[in-house]
Structure 1
Amino acid sequence: MKKIYIGIDAGTTSIKLIALNQQVDILYEKQYTYTYQTPQKGWTEIMPTDWSAIMLNGLKELFKQIDANQVVAIGLTGQMHSTVFLTEDGEPLRPAIMWNDRRTKELIPQLKKQLAEDPMTQLNSQIVSNGSPLANLFWLKENELSHFKKLGKVLITKDYLNYCLTGNYATDFCDASSSSLYNFSNQAWSTEIFERYGFSSDWFAEIYPAATVSGYLTDHICQSLGISEKIPVVVGTGDNVASTFATGSFTSNQPLISLGTSGVMIIPNKSHELKKIGKNVVAKIFPKDQAIITQGTVQAGGKLNSWWLDTILQTDQYLVEQEKIPMDLLGTNEVQFFPHLNGEKTLFANPNLRGAFAGLSLETERVNMYLAVLEGVAFGIRTLFEAMRNQEEPAHFSIVGGGAKSELWLNIFANVLNKPIRHILTTREAVHGAAMIASLATDQKIDLTEPEVEIIQPKPAISEKYHKQYQKYLILSQLMEKYSEEVS
């Protein structure tokens, strides 16, 4: 019998469903976009039931084309940090607070200071930020005490979808360790943090390795989907771990750049090495795994490309604008761009940080400024890599995401990093990782053959020029950090 695995990815603006066979061939895929609410400036919220309604509608459509008898398991992934607040009865108390919400920015310095005072919570002090579940819970206690008193469960996005499908509460080590509520030494929830802030341990789901069956579709769900098979549902993991797994970066232990709405540098290591800078995320797929991914983010990331073209130039001719940039301008552009238009969490830990152009002159043209935007993101990613790197020199960097479709940008990254860029052509996204982990949980088998890739090599002469440009970028970074402190 043909075996099929379903993956579900609850992203920031869309929910994706996919069906794969054991050879990772795509048998079905569909994406459903949605919008979240911004009731106040800097707030981003959504009713969790919107996610579940989209997911169930998507599964109904999927099972019209995929035989449920052949589906072995369903795997889950999704945006990390976004926090769902439930009553004792499992009903949403209020809208979920999403990962990109900024309402807690004034609370972060206080939380960082408090966490740094206790050796048992110091690691959490470096990762707590806007959108962290700890910050969101603290905000709820301070601002919506009536809701706080009614709390029964606190879940992350994928875990809420798991609950909707199975009626069970479960999370994985990725979402637990990135919540700022985790004890890295004990590999469990932090009782020290719970006691300090008055949180109940009963609110939090049990933590499992990602490739664990958490339950089965309930009778109610099967009936609503029009199927009779109680399909196993796998705990799954956060989107960055799922992407890292799907692209083979765990196997190769090489850095991965995700160039989507944000720009994320992900550095895996297999020895549970906790870095002093960056967000350390426990990537435990199986119980014996000791893998960690350390991640840092240029929050504006790939969004800067569309910001520059759509908002500033007001054009939809993306390719035309890039074709205007001559290749001999790479490494010699006099204009620099600081890419942190909407704050920064990893190196500066400053939500008020903003972007800037530098080096403008009367000779500056449209192409100089656009190229500077693309280069600024690459320089920002390099600063993250230098701060979080493994001791071993990487052989290459892999890149995925919408920004990787730009040949020009890939060349910039290759030369700024002075390493080959492994552009993954075979689509391997977080949703693929969810389905692949579902296969491992139930059959302990998946075809992890190398995806089709394009290798972009750096050119020594250009890389040398970019290295000098990078030194100027570091000076600009220092100036912008000081400027931000003066005006905030």
Structure 2
Amino acid sequence: MTPTYLLGIDSGSTVTKAAIFDMEGNTRAIGRAQVSPRHPQPHRVERDMEETWSAVAEAIRHALSNADISNTQIAAIGITAHGDGLYLLDTDTRPLGPAIMSLDSRARDLVATWKSQGLEQDALSLTGQFPFPYAPTALLGWIQRNQPERFSRIGSILACKDWLRFCLTGELAADFTESSTGFTNVSTQRYSREALRLFGLESLDHALPTMRLPTDIAGRVTRKAAAATGLKAGTPVVAGLHDVTASAVGLGHIDNGDLTITSGTFSINEVFSDQPRPDQRWATRNGLEPGQWLSMAISPASSSNVDWFLQQCCTLESKTSPQILQYLESDLDAAFEDDSRIVYHPFLFGSPYEEPASAAFFGIQGWHTRAHLVRAILEGVVFNHRVHVDALATRFAINECRVTGGGAHTPRMAQLFADTLNRPVTITGTQEAAALGAALCAGVGIGVYGSLQDATQSCHPVTTYRPLPTIRQTRDAAFARYQQLVTQMAPLWDMLDTPA
């Protein structure tokens, strides 16, 4: 039987998805599995590496079952996953402690120390970015200082999707997009020993895997992995890519000047360019191929705030309605019609600011309802995206804007993005953009498509939401209140912070 489908794997912070697509990019079936992060101490977010692989294997089995196809019909596999964080192997290629997730902030004091030592400009010039607390370089520096025995045993430095690809194929590799999380020269786009030396990590030169392009075949499914997943042994697996880049591919938005917004655990706002433009407000990383760069303005402050509130404050509804926001829809209609001026700062897990920001509501009064609080959270999430988009717009000529992730697919959120950003926002038909992007890379890898540009022809826009001129002044005023409160609160955040 001729292989006719592509498998895209997307391992997020909590949910892993395996999606099967036909060669036109249509979804045949999806399998899901959950692996929850652990919080062993304040500011630490970890998960078990073997459990992460088990969740992927489970999701693949479900996808194959739901698709009702033979495993021989899967032509190739692409993998994407959450970025940054750290997945370490020892010299025997065994997991070296738990994975450290990208919501982890244990290294924030080290990052502050590096900044006080004047490393910021050197890092920006050399690597295109200054480390976030969850960046691999910062986490490795923390391990070096706090877990020296573990540091001495490091054999391979992997990202999440690299670990999962290793579990599938038994082959170690890194990909072009995610190798640039601080280990590469921003100009040459290749590994840089000078970059390692900048952070005192030159002894780890041996631990950086071979770098491959996202569409390169990096291995084939082993018999052991086939038994765990239900896949056919020998199925080719491409190197894959960082999930934020995969989302842009899955949205068909990979030309220079294209702006992609992902509203998920992180507020991700990214634009492609043909020249690197490092700036302290974003990370400049490798694009999809040499000669292309991706500038990513990111903070861990997006729709995860909505999830947190619904879990904590809507427990009864969650038992009867899996789609709680739909359950609250009529109440939200009324809340958005009111002249409510509640402001919410969505900084539960971090912020774009240097200070240890925390989340907060401002302006709650007795007449407000739970729906007004949800409205404020939705607005706060989009305001935080605007902070990043406004910054990018100062250095890049932005073309069309496409939005994906979580609540972005609802008409309410899509219109809120358009009105707040004051630019048209386009939604595509897929709700699994990252998995589709990984699958399209697999299709290029085996020659189904001649290039990623050819592959993305199947990614058609569905709806464009345009900003309503009648409410621009109202939206801008609300954003100004949000920004003013950020300025006023900044001196107080340290007082409210929990020590690391």
Aligned-partner residue type, residue 187 of structure 1 = Q
State the TM-score, normalized to the length of structure 1.
0.89
Give the superposition deviation at 1:254: 2.9
Q: Answer with 183-192 or 324-333: which moved more.
A: 324-333
Q: Following the alignment from structure 2 to structure 1, what is the Cα–Cα distance between the partners of residues 271 and 456?
A: 23
Q: Following the alignment from structure 2 to structure 1, what is the Cα–Cα distance between the partners of residues 77 and 163?
A: 14
Aligned residues of 2:90 and 2:96 also touching (Cα < 8 A): yes
Aligned residues of 2:302 and 2:346 also touching (Cα < 8 A): yes
Aligned residues of 2:60 and 2:230 also touching (Cα < 8 A): no
Give the superposition deviation at 1:366: 4.7
Q: Summarize the alignment of residues 243-322 of structure 1 with structure 2, pairs less than 5 Å apart.
A: 243-251=247-255, 253-284=257-288, 286=289, 288-297=290-299, 299-312=300-313, 316=317, 317-322=324-329
Q: Following the alignment from structure 2 to structure 1, what is the Cα–Cα distance between the partners of residues 213 and 132?
A: 25
Alignment of 1:192 onto 2:194: yes
Q: Following the alignment from structure 1 to structure 2, what is the Cα–Cα distance between the partners of residues 334 and 427?
A: 32
Rate the CA distance shift 1:377–1:62 in 2: closer, same or farther, 3 A: closer
Q: Answer with 138-147 or 185-194: which moved more.
A: 185-194
Aligned residues of 2:3 and 2:72 also touching (Cα < 8 A): no
Give the superposition deviation at 1:61: 5.3
* Aligned partner (choices 446, 465, 470) of residue 479 of structure 2: 470
Q: Following the alignment from structure 1 to structure 2, what is the Cα–Cα distance between the partners of residues 184 and 104?
A: 23
Q: Summarize the alignment of residues 199-218 of structure 1 with structure 2, pairs less than 5 Å apart.
A: 199-218=203-222
* Aligned partner (choices 347, 354, 363) of residue 349 of structure 1: 354
Q: Percent identity?
A: 23
Rate the CA distance shift 1:294–1:231 in 2: closer, same or farther, 3 A: same
The residue number in structure 2 matching 1:7 is 8
Aligned residues of 1:269 and 1:390 also touching (Cα < 8 A): no
Give the superposition deviation at 1:478: 0.9
User: SS state of the match for residue 484, structure 1?
Assistant: helix
Rate the CA distance shift 1:31–1:173 in 2: closer, same or farther, 3 A: same
Q: Following the alignment from structure 1 to structure 2, what is the Cα–Cα distance between the partners of residues 310 and 152?
A: 39
State the TM-score, normalized to the length of structure 2.
0.87
Give the superposition deviation at 1:311: 2.3
Rate the CA distance shift 1:270–1:330 in 2: closer, same or farther, 3 A: farther
* Aligned partner (choices 373, 389, 392) of residue 393 of structure 2: 389
Q: Following the alignment from structure 1 to structure 2, what is the Cα–Cα distance between the partners of residues 372 and 46?
A: 31
The residue number in structure 1 matching 2:23 is 22
Rate the CA distance shift 1:3–1:138 in 2: closer, same or farther, 3 A: same
Q: Following the alignment from structure 1 to structure 2, what is the Cα–Cα distance between the partners of residues 475 and 226?
A: 54
Q: Following the alignment from structure 1 to structure 2, what is the Cα–Cα distance between the partners of residues 205 and 151?
A: 12
The residue number in structure 2 matching 1:181 is 183
Q: Following the alignment from structure 1 to structure 2, what is the Cα–Cα distance between the partners of residues 447 and 124?
A: 29
Q: Summarize the alignment of residues 82-231 of structure 1 with structure 2, pairs less than 5 Å apart.
A: 82-114=85-117, 116=119, 119=122, 122=125, 126-178=129-181, 180-195=182-197, 196-222=200-226, 229-231=233-235
Aligned residues of 1:9 and 1:77 also touching (Cα < 8 A): yes
Give the superposition deviation at 1:392: 5.6
Aligned residues of 1:2 and 1:21 also touching (Cα < 8 A): no
Aligned residues of 1:13 and 1:36 also touching (Cα < 8 A): yes
Aligned residues of 1:263 and 1:300 also touching (Cα < 8 A): yes
Aligned residues of 1:274 and 1:292 also touching (Cα < 8 A): no
Give the superposition deviation at 1:444: 5.3
The residue number in structure 2 matching 1:418 is 422
Q: Following the alignment from structure 1 to structure 2, what is the Cα–Cα distance between the partners of residues 61 and 360?
A: 45
CA RMSD of aligned residues (A): 2.8
Aligned residues of 1:127 and 1:279 also touching (Cα < 8 A): yes
Aligned-partner residue type, residue 459 of structure 1 = L
Per-residue CA deviation, residues 387-418 of structure 1 (Å, 9 max, x unaligned), is: 12265654543221221244333322221111
Give the superposition deviation at 1:2: 4.4
* Aligned partner (choices 460, 463, 470) of residue 451 of structure 1: 460
* Aligned partner (choices 469, 483, 490) of residue 481 of structure 1: 490
Aligned residues of 2:85 and 2:134 also touching (Cα < 8 A): yes
Aligned-partner residue type, residue 349 of structure 1 = E
Q: Following the alignment from structure 1 to structure 2, what is the Cα–Cα distance between the partners of residues 235 and 434?
A: 9
User: SS state of the match for residue 157, structure 2?
Assistant: strand
Aligned residues of 1:22 and 1:447 also touching (Cα < 8 A): no
Alignment gaps of 5+ in structure 2: 318-323, 450-454
The residue number in structure 1 matching 2:452 is none
Rate the CA distance shift 1:41–1:463 in 2: closer, same or farther, 3 A: same
Aligned residues of 2:335 and 2:372 also touching (Cα < 8 A): no
Give the superposition deviation at 1:360: 4.3
Equivalent residues, number: 481
Aligned residues of 1:426 and 1:452 also touching (Cα < 8 A): no
Alignment of 1:46 onto 2:51: no
Give the superposition deviation at 1:152: 1.1
Q: Answer with 369-378 or 320-329: which moved more.
A: 320-329
Q: Following the alignment from structure 2 to structure 1, what is the Cα–Cα distance between the partners of residues 308 and 169?
A: 41
Give the superposition deviation at 1:74: 1.2
Aligned-partner residue type, residue 101 of structure 1 = D
Q: Summarize the alignment of residues 327-366 of structure 1 with structure 2, pairs less than 5 Å apart.
A: 329=336, 332-344=339-351, 346=352, 348-350=353-355, 352-361=356-365, 364=368, 366=370
